[in-house]
Structure 1
């Protein structure tokens, strides 16, 4: 036994010497290994799970501010009914940067399986919440966001589920990179942005369950109609294409890159009503998808049939090239251009990418109330010219009227 212990000691000394160390003295007793300190992990039960659909990004806009538009998916995993009482968005310093309180939540939330607005999530139901954090500049963007959401549960299940609980959930980084700069897809004055970011318009609300997951391709999508000198986009019967003076306007490439897909075989719809019976691949109508590089694709939709510009798949477009004419094909109730950028060539199975136009003229804005009141008749809309002027590297938000360079 003693000879074996001696052999082990010699071997250990040799290893230490080879490593350039000094062996301990023969009478030195090694220190015992300290026991690990006790660690306490404080768990909290989160009856409603939450996650962001995509990493939020800042978008400099025509109102002189930066909007962070993103979505939360909520999932009630309990057998209780959960009512959202408040959503508080908190930055990395613990400061509140946006709050939805009480009935205010209703306008920014949709519960799955329902058609009426509401903020009550039933057992096993999901809900989407659209958020818009607004800061003064790109430099003021937070680096991280998290969400304190207060729920009222009925019935409660003490001590695990109280009647009223606040969860801190869905921590996410914020992408602080600048959005892509492109040219406008249209020419001329009077283009009304009737549907886009950053309120919960039909585009922002269009979150699709495609290919096994949720996608928000239209997060920054814009629908354009052109107003005449009287502030109208319809000059005759609403069910006749000839009543829309901008019908047939040139649609131009917003940057350089090849066409990766297109369609021009669908007929014009009769304006004045939403079409029915469309298949999933018909919603965009006749359209062009262009690869702008670095994983960014441009989508130009509802174009006239028969490929009037004579473009081809694989053709490399240059910024400003005409690629089609404004039409009324697909899921549309009046002639307009639908335009957005996305992170894949799939117009529906993608996520929207923020963008800004290199230059345009802000002519003014209209009110949301007037849009609701007069959209069916095509106007006329009163344009508030406050803040009008040339703008560069900004996104024209919902309800703006803008003019774009000719040629």
Structure 2
């Protein structure tokens, strides 16, 4: 929710089968034979076990979602821990399903998708006992069926190899995970009009995807699919005039619309606007979303509409909303550096202590894409216009807009 557009050993063992093979009855003999067979099987399995210096688990199982690039995305995170007393470097990460490689991150690409906890810089090296996170976006080809499960093959390089336990190159399989059979909820756009730019959206490691928060004793990725919406004018500009005034942004005060039917479960409406161009400080966790509305959309889906204008919210907890209903005005409250709407869907009512879920918009027009992060920085600094591409355009239904997409919402 930060900002506007750029703003988160053991050792080998062996098992020897029991040599007690004499018994006084048929039942005893059968029992002993079964036990010996099981023990022998365990011994065979143990012989195949090797040291895996990097261990891992998946934070939440991925939910397939179709996006504007024509592909289906599996977006999720793998928590990794170096369980040894020396540096370990992950040289390659491969996501595999049914023996097929779906994604390969090599030594050059991998650091951009990986962080050690407490360190913002990209890295693929974990120090002794260090833990961190690997963000993944597995994009399936158009028309491909999502697999039922995934596994992750890491190539790990010890700083100080020691045969036979730690050879120079270790290939290990970690964090097997089932792919969810859940279907992303279809919602209506929460804003209307042309020129809406998707900032911090899926699927790069943006301020949203990077914001995996340690709350209430565990990690939460509420903002996994969150979008920050700002609006470009007919000339492609974000603002004209003094960028430190909210009123300079023409879309400031735009109507915010209910994305679906369902009751309001939470409202905050008394936090002040922030000054554009500066990053807020001293906020409580409960203030990061600023003035906001949380709506229950049903089937375990909750919508968050955040950073709203103070005093503009026209609904209260318990109100039953209808799709397209005006509920508030776009603002710049909470953890925000300029006017924008933060929108995401999650599996619980807390804006941050929830798991982010994918969603698709029922219908919209894709009118282009802003070209590159440099253009985003230019927009923030000068107001634009900036280069845009119209390679991918047209009417879209049932898709998730991606980072840098520019859309028109009816």
Q: TM-score, normalised by structure 2?
A: 0.88
Please give the alpha-carbon distance, in whole angstroms, between the structure 1 residues aligned to 2:205 and 2:26: 68
Question: In structure 1, what is the equivalent of residue 67 of structure 2?
Answer: 61
- Superposition map of 1:233-252 within 5 A: 233-252=238-257
Residue 87 (structure 1) aligned with residue 85 (structure 2): no
User: The residue matched to 2:108 in structure 1 has which SS?
Assistant: helix
Please give the alpha-carbon distance, in whole angstroms, between the structure 2 residues aligned to 1:247 and 1:355: 25
Residue number among 341, 344, 356 corresponding to 2:345 in the alignment: 341
Please give the alpha-carbon distance, in whole angstroms, between the structure 1 residues aligned to 2:120 and 2:265: 36
Q: Residue deviations 1:343-389, cap 9 Å, x none?
A: 01111111100000000111111111322343332321233222321
- Superposition map of 1:226-237 within 5 A: 226-237=231-242
Q: Report deviation, 1:139.
A: 4.7
Residue 72 (structure 1) aligned with residue 70 (structure 2): no
Question: In structure 1, what is the equivalent of residue 276 of structure 2?
Answer: 271
User: The residue matched to 1:380 in structure 2 has which SS?
Assistant: coil
Q: How many residues are treated as equivalent by the alignment?
A: 375
Q: Report deviation, 1:279.
A: 1.1
Residue 192 (structure 1) aligned with residue 197 (structure 2): yes
- Superposition map of 1:238-317 within 5 A: 238-306=243-311, 308-317=312-321
The answer to whether the 8 A contact 2:269-2:313 is kept is no
Question: In structure 1, what is the equivalent of residue 13 of structure 2?
Answer: none
Please give the alpha-carbon distance, in whole angstroms, between the structure 1 residues aligned to 2:379 and 2:251: 18
Question: In structure 2, what is the equivalent of residue 35 of structure 1?
Answer: 33
Question: In structure 1, what is the equivalent of residue 16 of structure 2?
Answer: none
Question: In structure 2, what is the equivalent of residue 26 of structure 1?
Answer: none
Question: In structure 2, what is the equivalent of residue 172 of structure 1?
Answer: 177
Residue number among 217, 221, 225 corresponding to 1:220 in the alignment: 225
Please give the alpha-carbon distance, in whole angstroms, between the structure 1 residues aligned to 2:341 and 2:78: 28
- Unaligned stretches of 5+ residues in structure 2: 1-24
Q: Report deviation, 1:138.
A: 6.2
Residue number among 211, 216, 220 corresponding to 2:216 in the alignment: 211
Please give the alpha-carbon distance, in whole angstroms, between the structure 2 residues aligned to 1:217 and 1:115: 19
The answer to whether the 8 A contact 1:183-1:319 is kept is yes
Question: In structure 2, what is the equivalent of residue 361 of structure 1?
Answer: 365
The answer to whether the 8 A contact 1:60-1:394 is kept is yes
Question: In structure 2, what is the equivalent of residue 396 of structure 1?
Answer: 401
Residue 45 (structure 1) aligned with residue 45 (structure 2): no
The answer to whether the 8 A contact 2:303-2:346 is kept is yes
Q: Residue deviations 1:288-331, cap 9 Å, x none?
A: 0001111110000000001x242111101110111110000011
Greater mean alpha carbon deviation, residues 55-64 or residues 362-371 = 362-371
Question: In structure 1, what is the equivalent of residue 109 of structure 2?
Answer: 104
User: The residue matched to 1:55 in structure 2 has which SS?
Assistant: coil
Q: Report deviation, 1:165.
A: 0.8
Q: Report deviation, 1:147.
A: 0.6
The answer to whether the 8 A contact 1:90-1:147 is kept is yes
User: The residue matched to 2:388 in structure 1 has which SS?
Assistant: coil
Whichever of the two has the greater Rg, that structure is 1
Question: In structure 1, what is the equivalent of residue 391 of structure 2?
Answer: 386
The answer to whether the 8 A contact 2:369-2:406 is kept is yes
The answer to whether the 8 A contact 2:96-2:150 is kept is yes
Question: In structure 1, what is the equivalent of residue 335 of structure 2?
Answer: 331
Please give the alpha-carbon distance, in whole angstroms, between the structure 1 residues aligned to 2:389 and 2:53: 47
Please give the alpha-carbon distance, in whole angstroms, between the structure 1 residues aligned to 2:96 and 2:71: 19
The answer to whether the 8 A contact 2:378-2:386 is kept is no
| Structural RMSD (CA) | 1.6
User: The residue matched to 1:339 in structure 2 has which SS?
Assistant: strand
Please give the alpha-carbon distance, in whole angstroms, between the structure 2 residues aligned to 1:348 and 1:270: 23
Please give the alpha-carbon distance, in whole angstroms, between the structure 2 residues aligned to 1:108 and 1:352: 18
Question: In structure 2, what is the equivalent of residue 377 of structure 1?
Answer: 382
Q: Report deviation, 1:113.
A: 2.5
Please give the alpha-carbon distance, in whole angstroms, between the structure 1 residues aligned to 2:399 and 2:182: 14
Q: Report deviation, 1:30.
A: 6.9
- Unaligned stretches of 5+ residues in structure 1: 1-28
